[in-house]
Structure 1
Amino acid sequence: VRDFVGSFNFLGTVYQHSERRDRLGNWVPQDPSAAQLRQSLTEFAVLPLGSPFVRARTPIVRSLLLYGPRGSGKTMLVSALANETGALVLNLSPSNLVGKFAGKTGPTKLVHMAFLLAKAASLQPIIIYMDECEQIFAAGGGGKKGKAAAAANAEGPVRFKKDLLLYIKAALEPTDRVLVVGTTADPGAAEVKDLRNFFDKFLHVPYPDYASRVLLWKHALRSTIAAHAATLGLSTATTAAALAAASSSSSAASTAMASASQQQDRRREPLDISTLAHISEGYSSGSIVRAVESTLTPRRVECLEKRLLREEEFLGALSRQTATFADDHEKFKAFTAIITGLKDTRDKLRKAAADALNPDDKKDKAGGKGDKKGKKGKK
């Protein structure tokens, strides 16, 4: 779990007590930091799965949903949970079930076998993994479109929803070290009621903030350089010089990579990590890592001793990555407000405030209903 790179939100308390509102005047909760995600996963998943003592004495968490943009690290976190606990992973993702377990009894057979296997004490801990779970809990429609969608989903992932909702509550005991983990990049496509009935905890895996992006750039640069250096068989000195190019410390890099004359001609930091962190705002963690990997080719790593790494080298690779920060962020904020009940609370408060400001309107509505009932009685 510690490999999930990200920083602690040091201004979280200040933000929490400040009046931050969106364009509609709604208070907006802050996104969780990487440190908070690591802590929550440790409390909800790692400790209960790894220790029967903890599992039996803590509130049971049967299922967990990780939602966030593509490339934010959701699948990596599931792998980290399995690695930390030594858990067996049962992959029930829609992509893994295409064309399998057809017929009316097929979904029931699969779900029954999965939970029967999960309850085997000799195989626990077990993680039941569902990627793109919005396809399983897809929202249905009414009318002709709803009937057409139902016919199209007769052999689709939605057919597993009924049995999953039944088994998640009936099959697992508090002592079973089993956790169902779902991931989604489009939570709005799922039925909110079904998600609430199935998942016990919801964790938002957001875009990395500035502090996390700084750590992410450094980690991606160092790990990519070290991997290529090991493959190429570079010497220790050459590897150290290459790693110094990814450092924001000008003194360390100039000592390892530049001569005295070069230091006089070029007095600048080898790589401005802060600038890279600023221009990569709105990009997911995966986009940043892919930009680094496509820029730092084995040939480029070999040349780091002679040619320092520059910020503009990453611009082309970064521009080819997908960045939809504004649209996705609004989508995930709206889902967070719905799934946490914040939207319902806002609506109730606004309705109560409107009734308090206009008590006559409320009386008129009540009187109108009474008149209608009276007329019906006369008939």
Structure 2
Amino acid sequence: MFNQLWADAQLELSRLLAEELPAEPLRPEKDRVVFFQRLATLYVRYVRTLRQLQEAYDLMVHPQKRRLIRRVLDSVVGRVLELKNEMVEKEFSEYHYMDDVLHDLKLSPAELEIPIPRYFLSERSKEVQQRKTMVADLLDLVEVAESPEPLMSPEEAIRLIQLAERARQGRLRAKLNAELRSELLDTTKAPGPADTELAAICIQKVWRGYIARKRTKAEREEEMIFLGMLMDPKHQLPTSAEITAQANEACTRAKQEEYEEAYQKSMEDVTKQLRDMEGHDMSKTMKDQIRQWFIECRNATGVFPDYPDEEDGGSALIFAEKRPQQLMEELAAKEETTNNKPKWKEDKKEKGKDKGKDDKEEAAGLKMMPSAFLSDLQEQHKTFVDFWQTRDESENFSQRHEVELVKEEMRKVMKAEIQMQVDEQMRQELAERKVSVDKDKGAKAKAKAKKKASKSGKKKKKENDLTADRTLESLCQELVEQGLLKQAHHVRLHHYLGDYSYLGTTLRQNDIEPMPSLADVRQVLSLYAVLPLGSQLVHEKAPLIKAMLLAGPSGVGKKMLVHAVCQETGSTMFDLSPLNTAGKYPGKSGVAMMLHLVFKVARLLQPSVIWIDDAEKMFYKKVPKEEKELDPKRLQKDLLKSLKLIKAEDRVLIMGTTKDPLSTDMKSLCKMYSKIILIPRPDYGSRYILWKQLIKKQGGEVTKALDLSSLAKITDGYTPGHMVKAIHSVVTKWRILVQPDRPLTAAEFIPPLAKTDPVFQEEEEALKNWYAKTPLGKKRMKAAAGKEEEEAAGKGKAVKNKKTNKKKKGKQ
């Protein structure tokens, strides 16, 4: 089944590659809408392929197939991120609405959900667990050492006394009522025959009514189940087939581990065998070929050649199919260019050329940006077609590794290792030949080689390590003690509930910018944070995002999203919030030490997320009087410097959260955060899902008595945080116990909600206006203004044409 799934994914991938890498280059597209439509279609199709590959990789047991699928999977993830980046640059928005594409491809909105590969955690489960245990142990030590038993506040003590007194009075009142009831029963007279008959009729009437209502309810439910409007209760419990499938999945995962261990052992055995049998012959053959090249170059040019550097591939250049003269010319040309042209000038010229090209392309039309993953995808697809597609595996039913393939793989690895050893020996031999044969020239060559070595020996300036003599454990302990290294809460990204935005495309067609739904926010976080942090290859080659800001009203789930990103990727979490760092590591040297500690440990324990809560405090236009003592802006300059030092190989992401971005200096904020994500209050669909799922999570039952639709409608403006508080105050332990007799109603949730202020329309508009001032928001506004100008110009031309036509007719 998984082989077939893999084959289907590769077939779709071949079609995508044929579209993206055609035989003849595509003409630039002048219509921006048509070009975006093409991008969106490719994006949706790649996401579908990603889902198929993720499923195939997750439960396939063949170790060699899994390695190829993993490479394809990483490349597809990277291509999805590239397309997303290109869509943002062409549409000037972080959120995209693709209802028409889904309709054309006959897909549901669920197909747009970004699948998070399970190997992000499954292949690092031991490492992630060790880190969690280490942080938990350090936190326990800190709590025991520093936190004495907290004293109860006077308010809490008064509340406790009130509860005890009210309970005592209630018990006393109940006792008095019971005594009065027993006295009344004793004084009543014995009932007569007429009273007994009336009582029996009353009981019969009530009972028959109850039975009739029960029967009617059961018939209504049966009819609704028959029509497919309700789920059959027996299907709500896991079926025997589902239980069997879960058991098979667990068995498959155990097989994966077993086969992987056998594969690793086979690699070691095969490597040892190849070294003993082929290593000496391989080394001898390489040396003979290199010596032959020395002689050919000497005969052709009169001098011995320079040996290719390791950076250029060493002797791999010699073994390439090139004549000695051609190879010498290439090396000489490369040397001249590196010696004569300063690098910064070359870069400047190249940038100027690229800029000129981009301007010309923009004038001519829109083209796809160059991809770092398409060549890898093409190569991996070729491997699948050449080897795995038509391979007969009838004899390998258990799907264990194939020894011949292991030999081929290890032969390549061993060849590369031997080549490096041979290169060292042959460089020395070449130097000796130059000295013995061409003494004068050899001396010059030696001086040249020394010069080269001195140039290559120059090392780049490294960042000054302030804690070179300390261990990782001691650094982690210090950060935990200072409250800078924290344990992420156990929440996942799918716990961030929200519905798809069904009106996005319609609103944009009418020139109205829609507010994104919570599902859109979840999708953007998957693309910008989870996928790059989860894979090293993707992070190195995909568009680099160093810092992102989550802005929105209080209670929309910004902090939850930060914790979810950490949990999905197994990231270490650091807290550099202004309130958390206040008073710690005072002075300039202290700030430098704090940031050095955090970023050093973040790189050592990558992937890592550095969280900055209340990010607006760091970029205040004017610091409020009450916060001047905290000095919230003291990290700003040093943090920007540390941000610049993050490279593509460092899986470190800075995530800021803010509920009051209006008080910030926009220029300095945008220097820090390259991506700004606006999180809105939930729409009707998201509110409906939130009420339903959160009530169930708390232990409540959603019955017909609970009008969720009305509840979702009247709670417009309330955030998920407000809803959670209201549910906690209503669905208590006592209320859960009496649910069978008194089902939950929508009216019960209104009083607690009435005590809190919702997000008013004015606040949402203020956030929208603020976002319009961000770099991406400005581009969006300019693009919209440009469209209006084009439309106006088009109308003007049409009017002129009409006038000229009328004049011509008049003359005629």
Q: TM-score range by the shorter chain?
A: 0.7 to 0.9
1:332 alignment partner in structure 2 = 767
TM-superposed CA distance for 1:327, in Å, is 2.7
Question: Match for 1:10: what amino acid?
Answer: Y
Instruction: Indicate conservation of the 8 Å contact 1:119/1:172, yes or no.
Output: no
Higher relative contact order (CA 8 A, sep 6+): 1
CA distance 1:130–1:220, shift in 2 (3 Å)? same
Q: Deviations over 1:206-250 (max 9, x none)?
A: 10000000000001100011xxxxxxxxxxxxxxxx53xx14xxx
1:109 aligns with 2:601: no
Gaps of at least 5 residues in structure 1 are: 21-28, 141-145, 226-241, 248-268, 354-379
Instruction: Indicate conservation of the 8 Å contact 1:92/1:130, yes or no.
Output: yes
Q: Distance in 1 between matches of 2:782 and 2:509?
A: 22
Q: Distance in 1 between matches of 2:749 and 2:725?
A: 10
3-state SS of the aligned residue for 1:136?
Answer: helix
3-state SS of the aligned residue for 1:180?
Answer: strand
Q: Greater CA radius of gyration, 1 or 2?
A: 2
Specify which of 161, 166, 181 is matched with residue 641 of structure 2: 166
Q: Distance in 2 between matches of 1:224 and 1:98?
A: 36
Instruction: Indicate conservation of the 8 Å contact 1:153/1:159, yes or no.
Output: no
Q: Distance in 1 between matches of 2:690 and 2:606?
A: 34
TM-superposed CA distance for 1:11, in Å, is 1.4
1:180 alignment partner in structure 2 = 654
Please give the residue correspondences for 1:105-184 in structure 2 after superposition, counting only pairs within 5 Å.
105-120=589-604, 123-140=605-622, 153=628, 155-169=630-644, 171-184=645-658
Q: Distance in 2 between matches of 1:307 and 1:346?
A: 53
Instruction: Indicate conservation of the 8 Å contact 1:291/1:321, yes or no.
Output: no
Instruction: Indicate conservation of the 8 Å contact 1:89/1:129, yes or no.
Output: yes
1:297 alignment partner in structure 2 = 732
Q: Distance in 1 between matches of 2:752 and 2:612?
A: 31
1:143 alignment partner in structure 2 = none
1:61 aligns with 2:496: no
Q: Deviations over 1:281-331 (max 9, x none)?
A: 011110011111111111011000011211111110111122132232022
**Is the helix fraction higher in 1 or 2?**
2
TM-superposed CA distance for 1:335, in Å, is 1.4
Aligned length: 296
Q: Distance in 1 between matches of 2:781 and 2:774?
A: 13
1:214 aligns with 2:688: yes
Normalised TM-score (structure 1): 0.73
3-state SS of the aligned residue for 2:687?
Answer: helix
CA distance 1:217–1:165, shift in 2 (3 Å)? same
TM-superposed CA distance for 1:347, in Å, is 8.2
TM-superposed CA distance for 1:112, in Å, is 2.0
Please give the residue correspondences for 1:24-43 in structure 2 after superposition, counting only pairs within 5 Å.
29-43=513-527
CA distance 1:46–1:154, shift in 2 (3 Å)? same
Normalised TM-score (structure 2): 0.35
TM-superposed CA distance for 1:340, in Å, is 3.7
CA-atom RMSD in angstroms: 2.4
2:504 alignment partner in structure 1 = 12
TM-superposed CA distance for 1:83, in Å, is 0.5
Question: Match for 2:609: what amino acid?
Answer: I
Question: Match for 1:271: what amino acid?
Answer: L
Q: Distance in 2 between matches of 1:343 and 1:68?
A: 19
Q: Distance in 2 between matches of 1:323 and 1:218?
A: 20
TM-superposed CA distance for 1:346, in Å, is 5.1
Please give the residue correspondences for 1:217-256 in structure 2 after superposition, counting only pairs within 5 Å.
217-225=691-699, 243=701, 246-247=702-703
Instruction: Indicate conservation of the 8 Å contact 2:681/2:759, yes or no.
Output: no
1:51 alignment partner in structure 2 = 535
Please give the residue correspondences for 1:220-369 in structure 2 after superposition, counting only pairs within 5 Å.
220-225=694-699, 243=701, 246-247=702-703, 269-343=704-778
3-state SS of the aligned residue for 1:2?
Answer: helix
Q: Distance in 1 between matches of 2:720 and 2:550?
A: 15
